[in-house]
Structure 1
Amino acid sequence: MTAQPAALVGHLQSPKVPVIIGAALFMELLDSTAVMTALPSMAADFGEPGLRMNLVVSLYMLALALCVPLSGWAAERFRPRQVMLLAMGLFTVASLACALAESLWQLCLGRMLQGAAGALMTPVGQVIILRWSSREQLLQAMSWLALPALVGPLLGPLLGGLLVTALSWHWIFLINLPICLLGCVLILKHVPDFPPRAVPPLDGRGLLLSGGALALLVLGLESLGLGQLPRMWALALIGGGVACALGYLLHAQRHPNPLVDLSLLRLRSFGVTQAGGGLFRLGSAAQPFLLVLLLQNCLGMSPMAAGWLVVSGGVGAMLMKLLAVPLVRRYGYRQVLSCNAVLSGAGIALCAWFDRDTAIWLMALVLFVAGLVRSLQFSTLGAASYQDVPGERSAAATSLASMSGQLTMAMSVSLAGLMLGVLAGVDGRTETSVADVTTVMLVCAGLCGVSGMVFRRLAN
């Protein structure tokens, strides 16, 4: 890590900076998941078929994928606090545009603007934390940044359901306006204004190849999983993404300063955590989607009842913030990540056995414990990733980590949807059964367990 400015040394114990940045990331993740519950209402207002509303999600992910590679370079080329404020301001304008949209395409344009802003928030927030925090404080700081990724997808559907039921879908976007403005004030007041660093010119060809690879892979996998396009078209998108990725690999080997620095993967801690974390996200990121599908479609719960039940996992995630640092200090990164990956897989496997006879209190208890262990995993993973990353390469590392996270999370949901479709198709069914969801959940649990073997390669 870089040396801390003298004015900040006395404030390293304060959680204000990571809490403020974590709250900004939470808002973005909450909004992106709350939109899912409002799609039927939007379709009715716009007079569009429900299937076309997938564009609201797909184009958001497209903009996110295209802009993520740029975020690390921008965080170093300009002052990271200024980039964070720009992202917040852009998200505010985009939210207002979405709320005022009078057609599907107007809404899609607003969502693409939201995606571009969201792509900047997470990597730039991580750069600020890496430059603000000492190595000893890094785990505690990163645990606050892991919380949005855990709680946002759990609370988003509940918030979306409440707003759509009580008011209208427009309020999913309007509620962002005061939150964004308050966030900008808090960032100006409490977040340090680090100077820019000298960086090489923007690698334009690398941006096109890496952004194209991410965009084509994300859209192809989503289309394949949700059946938005004919299978051949979806496979063609995935093939194009793979071709762009291979093209970027060749380009990065020849370019002296590639946009996405893949040589970072040679650093032991960073390389191992990216490999193990990728497997873990493949197994765990689809859990909110699978859980809502199981509770509502298969077990017949109402959206509100299922939403309240899923919130118990978010409560467990928040409580783990009190225990993460002592556990890692006692047992070390390797022990915590490898053992907790197995426990996280066990939590998903237990959820797979929920049925109509399972008591509500028992479901809530399982989800609470599962939230605890997942929170510990992501909090620890965030800090372990940067243990051997030099301070001057922190922006490149956060950009690469964000790209990896975006791709594996998209793959997780898409592959889960694809497996569900295949299992239903084998029996000639059009609807998903409890057995289908159970099978996919058990596969996801196995991936989490396998990631524990990868984490064993970490130095303790």
Structure 2
Amino acid sequence: MNSIPLIIAFAFFMEMMDSTVIATSLPVIAEDLGTSPIALKLALTSYLVALGIFIPVSGWMADKFGAKRIFRWAIVVFVIGSVACAFSNSLLTFVLSRFLQGMGGSMMVPVGRLILVRTFQKKDLVHAMTLMTIPGLIGPMAGPPLGGFLTTYLSWHWIFIINVPIGLAGIWLCGIYLPEIPRRETSRLDWTGFLLTGTAAAGIVFGLSVISLPALPPAVGLVTTLVGFGALLAYLVHAKRRANPILDPALLRNRAFGLTLLGTNIFRISSGSMPFLMPLMLQTGFGYNAFQSGLITFTGAFGAISMKFIVKRALAAVGFRMALVIASLGGALLTFAMVGFVPGTPVWIFVLVLYGAGLTRSFLFTSSNGLMFTSIGDNEASQATALSSVFQQVSLALGVALAGFVLEATGWVTGDTLGLVNFHIAFAVTAVLALVSVPIFAFLPASAGQESSGHRLRELP
């Protein structure tokens, strides 16, 4: 059965890696396409916008046409988008190709989670989620150094060509090992809801991306973000009036699911700023080159892998509630420790802190995924996977936007946007934000997820 989450994990890895892989290659790609690196950042945002538009409909598509079929077609679309990126010869074709990639990526992660939820029993779900989550955490960290390596020693086209053999292997393995998930009876597609959720998610993600990566005037990002939040409010009104909305806010009334989703994504806003802040600080404040900073930050991936060996026993020992409290508190403290990084700090201190941060992040996200999807009924699974993926994309965009805003705001005071003190303040702010998730997790029921964790409360005499 391990083959099922591992196949999904490779697709998860491709999708998450491609969200960051072109970051270090923008100058080279821009020169080849005859445009500027700033303008080419639209390719980053077009990918995120496609995720925001199409993730909400992923659950309905999986129920209507079959999860296995949609998952395989998602990989096909992603591979076609990758080939189109490699053969792009202008800014417009590159941005459109990245959008096509995002359409495929928008289905891979939520539908992949849905396959796990409907294949594994609740007692086995944490193990399956562990195997799937680790590559998703490694992907964003692996993207920049891998992109830099391929661009330096081959060409930028290989950033996308490398997805072709991986994707084709994934399609073939899906046909052999993934089970057929029965289709579900579905209502007619909520087209109004699809339009509003797509506008909300895309508007917020695009707006925040423009604010944090100013390829366009910041005013455009601000207006787009406000439009996104306006569409979100309109959707909440619409969802109350419709019997079967495309994303059902009623799921949030489930205490375990709602609190875990909230706490996890507040923590993700904090951790989502790390891939932006840490490499930039190491390069501008410590003099490391892009490859060296990438190698140092990649130590967090080893922490994520190490988590696999402790999560099951830890959950059995203390349960989901205490595990999430400890992980969020540990992650906040390790983030605050980064405030102490100065030019004289030994490299092994960097490595140790980043390793611990990677471990706590991986532990928290694996545990929260396990708890969320064991707290819902089977008929709610498609809605839950889509809803959690929407929150994930928005929180990641918020993390980068928050980091960029703090650097800019402190720069107004210090006169230097990329001074070391600016990064220290940014790490302190994100650490405080991570702390906010601690009391949220503490409000979870003590018995939450017992059937999955194996933890049993002691009975009073």
Normalising by the smaller structure, the TM-score range is over 0.9
1:444 aligns with 2:430: yes
CA distance, structure 1, for counterparts of residue 291 and residue 387 of structure 2: 37
CA distance in structure 1 between the aligned counterparts of 2:251 and 2:23, rounded to whole angstroms? 35
Shift of residue 42, structure 1, vs aligned partner:
0.6
Deviation at 1:347, TM superposition (A): 1.3
Aligned to 1:205: 192
The total of aligned residue pairs comes to 446
Name the residue aligned to 2:172: 185
- Residue 110 of structure 2 contacts residue 386 of structure 2 at CA under 8 Å; is this kept in 1? yes
**Partner of residue 4, structure 1:** none
* Cα distance in structure 1, aligned partners of 2:445 and 2:27: 49
Hey, what does 1:80 align to over in structure 2?
67
1:118-157 alignment runs, 5 A limit: 118-157=105-144
State the Cα distance separating 1:387 from its structure 2 match.
2.4
In 1: Cα distance, 2:217 partner to 2:90 partner = 26
Once the 2 structures are TM-superposed, how far is the Cα of residue 272 of structure 1 from its aligned partner?
0.5
Q: Is 1:58 equivalent to 2:45 in the alignment? A: yes
Q: Output the amino acid matched with 1:380.
A: S
Give the drift of 1:268. 1.0
1:311 matched to 2:288 = no
Q: Deviations over 1:367-416 (max 9, x none)?
A: 11211111111110110112220001100011111111111111111121
> How far 1:225 moved relative to its partner?
2.2
Structure-2 residue corresponding to 1:278: 265
CA deviation map 1:227-247 (0-9, x unaligned): 333343322112211111111
Distance 2:217 2:31 in 1: 25
Structure 2 residue matching 1:199: 3-state secondary structure: coil
Indicate conservation of the 8 Å contact 2:11/2:170, yes or no.
yes
Match of 1:456 in 2: 442
Is 2:383 the partner of 1:381?
no
1:296 deviates by: 1.0
Matched, 1:356 2:382: no
Give the whole-Å Cα distance in 2 for the aligned partners of 1:370 and 1:435. 21
Summarize deviations over 1:49-77 as a string: whole Å, max 9, x none: 22101111011111111111111111111
2:455 maps to what in 1? none
Asked if the contact 2:41/2:213 (under 8 Å) is kept, the reply is no
- Say if 2:411 is the partner of 1:424: yes
* Structure 1 residues 233-265: Cα deviation after superposition (integer angstroms, max 9, x where no partner): 322112211111111011000011000011000
Code of the residue aligned with 2:16 in structure 1: it is: L
* Range moving further from structure 2, 261-270 or 47-56: 47-56
* Structure 1 segments unaligned to the other structure (5+ residues): 1-13
CA shift digits 1:14-63 (9 cap, x unpaired): 31111110111101211221111111101111121221011110111111
Percent of pairs with identical residues: 36
Please give the alpha-carbon distance, in whole angstroms, between the structure 2 residues aligned to 1:288 and 1:234: 21
Deviation track 1:407-447 (CA, whole Å, cap 9, x = no partner) reads: 11111111211111111122333x41111111111111111
Asked if 1 retains the 8 angstrom alpha-carbon contact of 2:50 and 2:102, the reply is yes
The one of 21, 26, 39 aligned to 2:13? 26
Task: For residue 448 of structure 1, report the CA deviation from its aligned partner.
Answer: 1.1
Between the aligned partners of 2:428 and 2:133, the Cα distance in structure 1 is 24
Distance, in Å, in 2 between the alignment partners of 1:309 and 1:387 is: 36
Q: Does the CA contact (< 8 Å) of 1:423 and 1:436 recur in 2?
A: yes
The CA deviation at 1:149 is 2.7
| SS of corresponding position for 1:173 | helix
Q: Which one of the candidate residues 141, 162, 168 is aligned to 2:149?
A: 162
Q: Give the match for residue 249 of structure 1.
A: 236
Paired with 1:428 and 1:320, the residues of 2 have a C-alpha distance of 41
Q: How far 1:193 sits from its partner (Å)?
A: 1.1
User: What is the aligned partner in structure 2 of residue 344 from structure 1?
Assistant: 331
| Amino acid of the structure 2 residue aligned with 1:361 | W
| Residue 89 of structure 1: how far off its partner (Å) | 0.5
Partner of 1:3: none
Match of 1:409 in 2: 396
CA displacement at 1:124 relative to structure 2:
0.2
Deviations 1:123-145 (A, max 9, x none): 10011000001010011111122
CA deviation string 1:130-180 (max 9, x = no partner): 000101001111112221231111111111111011011100000000000
Counterparts in 2 of 1:366 and 1:428: CA distance versus 1, 3 Å: closer
Contact 1:213 1:244 (C-alpha < 8 Å) held by counterparts: yes
Aligned equivalent of 2:36: 49
SS of the aligned residue for 1:386 comes to helix
* Alignment match of 1:433 (pick from 397, 402, 419): 419
Q: Is the 8 A contact 2:40 2:215 kept in 1?
A: no
Distance in 2, Cα, partners of 1:257 & 1:282: 30
Say if 1:285 and 1:412, in contact at 8 Å, map to a contact too.
yes
Structure 2 Cα separation of the partners of residues 368 and 239 of structure 1: 37
* Distance in structure 2 (CA, Å) of the matches to 1:376 and 1:232: 38
Counterparts of 1:186 and 1:85, CA distance in 2: 10
Q: CA RMSD in A?
A: 1.1
Q: CA–CA distance in 2 between the matches of 1:271 and 1:72?
A: 18
Contact 1:143–1:382 (8 Å) recurs in 2: no
Whether the aligned pair in 2 keeps the contact of 1:62 and 1:112 (CA below 8 Å) is yes
Give the distance between the partners of 2:276 and 2:174, measured in 1 at CA: 32
Q: Secondary structure at the match of 1:43?
A: helix
Q: Which amino acid aligns with 2:20?
A: T
Mapped pair 1:265 → 2:270: no
Instruction: Give the secondary-structure state (helix, strand or coil) at the position aligned to 2:363.
Output: helix
Residue in 1 aligned with 2:77?
Answer: 90
Maintained 8 Å contact 1:206/1:251: yes
Pair 1:220-2:207 in alignment: yes
**Is 2:315 the counterpart of 1:328?**
yes
Tell me if structure 1 keeps the 8 A contact 2:210–2:221.
yes
